[in-house]
Amino acid sequence: MFETVVVGATDSEGATRAFRRALAVARTTGGTLHVVTAINGKGEAESAPWLPEEFRYTDAGAGATDWLLTQLAKEAAEAEVQVTTHPVLDDPARAITRVATEEGADLVVVGSGSDHGARALSPVPKAVMDHAACPVLVV
């Protein structure tokens, strides 16, 4: 059913809940999990316009991004879920929807953006819901 699951990842509580839910869905369905981390490289990316996009994010602090993606990939591997990580130089909503489109996602999972108990959506999940071509699960 959900063979390709995309999830946005940050170091927030909401994103952690979204990752765990996406991991559970991918594990249950035997699908592949695509973990997306958006890197807002405003300023840094323009300082190296000659670099291909896939290398530019290193100018925007890849250390923390790589660490997060490595930890999430390790957790997915321990759960025996096939995982691919995507560090994307873009704002979060565009990064998530771009990877979802490129990978032909069956489901996108995002956090609500509210870590303090309110049931209001932040701009990122709203934008993902508006632009994703597949179902979006907000946790």
* Token code pair at residue 46: 């323009």
Residue ranges and CATH numbers for the domains of the chain are 4-138 (3.40.50.620)
pLDDT at 43: 42
Q: Which residues partner with 49 through β-bridges?
A: none
pLDDT at 76: 97
What whole-number distance in Å separates Cα of residue 112 and Cα of residue 77?
A: 25
Instruction: Give average pLDDT by consecutive 10-residue segment, the chain, 139 residues.
Output: 94 93 97 92 49 54 78 96 95 96 97 69 92 95
Beta carbons of 75 and 85 less than 8 angstroms apart: no
pLDDT at 102: 97
pLDDT at 44: 42
Closest CA relative to residue 28, chosen from 96, 103, 70, 80: 80
